[in-house]
Structure 1
Amino acid sequence: MIYTDGACSGNPGPGGWGVLMQFGDKEKTLKGGEHDTTNNRMEMMAAIKALEAINEKYRGNVTLWTDSTYVMKGITEWIHGWKKRGWKKSDKKPVVNVDLWKELDALNAIHNVTWKWVKGHAGVEGNERADKLARAGMPVRD
């Protein structure tokens, strides 16, 4: 079970991402951030970092929870059309954050991921912990 979250102070502005990974009785947390980014990029980075952290030999099922409808719909619905259209949206404009979408798509293809959406700030422990990690990952403003 994986919970991911992103946070941004200003949009764009300093942002952070957080990951809570649970496997049996084992737990791993990850966090990081960037000085000048967006909330959507941090939500995506959390998912990317989570999938990168999975042991490369693991071939089991992965359930990844995100509170980002952007990430959820992007990776499960929109991406198919984007790829068919050469990474263009239906309005022919380029996909925003295409660098991260390509990275997330490649990692998603390696792992057997079930993507789940969770309402943010609704008291779900894993999501709340990922949110705290994302906030802790934010760089301090200069």
Structure 2
Amino acid sequence: MKMILFTLEIIDEENNNYKIKVSNGTENSLVEFNPLKKELHFIDNNNLSDFFKGQEYQFRKMLHNKRPDTYYVGFNVKVVIREDKDVAAFNDRSKILVLDKRNSNYDSYAIEESKAEEKIYKIYTDASYFEKKNHGGFAFIIEDLKGNYNLYTEKVKDIGSSQAELEAAIKALELLKDVEKIRIITDSQYVRKGLTEWLPIWKLNDFKTINGEPAKNIEKWLDFDKACNGKYIEFQWVKAHSNHFENSLCDMYAKDIANKNSTSY
């Protein structure tokens, strides 16, 4: 996948219309964006502007996701555009997201479930976390190629709900360190999108979000990324509490281990 780094700087504002300069180091493109009305206008007419017009869906998504309080003159952040990205496909929750890190490669893309691997190890994960008490637990099921299930549970403390979700996936992958093709089935968009969309960008822009703030849980993301080295990983999302058997089972055991150990800390 081809990732291109740019600098985004807000240089002027009038009536909530922000003039933004985007630069690749040799050429600049000026745009105007209103975060309240979600209106985007291209001011310049040059090669860089033509590039962003071609990537408008992806560029708009960045600007839409940026918090209103981070729109101010002087704001500056590095942003990354993935030239070949099908943003609509990545946002389609029915699609399976693929991360391919075999042969020193790093590629990600979206596929229909019908095109997913048929013979593949499966990891079902879920976590339960009590934010006020700073503890919880996670559970995951590993299904081998013969359809056999193995259940694992673990309590966690002082890491947060999102980190607990990541920890479950990491621990499961570590158990399958010698397996090349794996599908992770999760109700967490955080787990589904992190390695396929966000981490490749963070590695280029000093681990910053579009709001100019440090991305959270980077150490866990890097551990997750490392556990995927040399592997082909499919990420499949399932809706929580939708009677999906394995997801419901993981949810039940994650809550059980979280509650069971609530008095042991």
2:154 partner amino acid: G
Residue 243 of structure 2 is aligned to residue 123 of structure 1? yes
Shift of 1:134: 1.5
Partner of 2:135: 14
Which structure is richer in relative contact order (CA contacts within 8 A, separation 6 or more)?
1
Partner of 2:192: 72
Match among 26, 43, 60 for residue 148 of structure 2: 26
Shift of 1:110: 3.1
Match among 164, 167, 173 for residue 42 of structure 1: 164
Counterparts in 2 of 1:123 and 1:96: CA distance versus 1, 3 Å: same
Counterparts in 2 of 1:89 and 1:119: CA distance versus 1, 3 Å: same
Shift of 1:132: 1.8
Shift of 1:11: 5.3
Q: CA RMSD in A?
A: 1.7
Structure 1 runs not aligned, ≥5 long: none
Counterpart of 1:90 in 2: which secondary structure?
Answer: coil
Structure showing greater radius of gyration is 2
- State whether residues 12 and 38 of structure 1, in contact with CA within 8 Å, keep that contact through their aligned partners in structure 2: no
Structure 2 runs not aligned, ≥5 long: 1-121
TM-score in terms of structure 2 length: 0.50
What pairs with 1:74-113 in structure 2 (closer than 5 Å)?
A: 74-113=194-233
Counterparts in 2 of 1:122 and 1:45: CA distance versus 1, 3 Å: same
Counterpart of 2:252 in 1: which secondary structure?
Answer: helix
Distance 1:17 1:124 in 2: 17
Deviations along 1:68-116, one digit per CA (max 9) or x if unpaired, are: 1111121221111111112222223111111100001111223211011
> Quick check: which one's helix share is greater?
1
Counterparts in 2 of 1:10 and 1:103: CA distance versus 1, 3 Å: same
TM-score in terms of structure 1 length: 0.89
Distance 1:25 1:112 in 2: 19
Partner of 1:63: 183
Deviations along 1:12-57, one digit per CA (max 9) or x if unpaired, are: 6211111011111322111112233321111111111111111x33
Distance 1:12 1:70 in 2: 22
1:118 partner amino acid: V
Alignment coverage as a number of residue pairs: 140
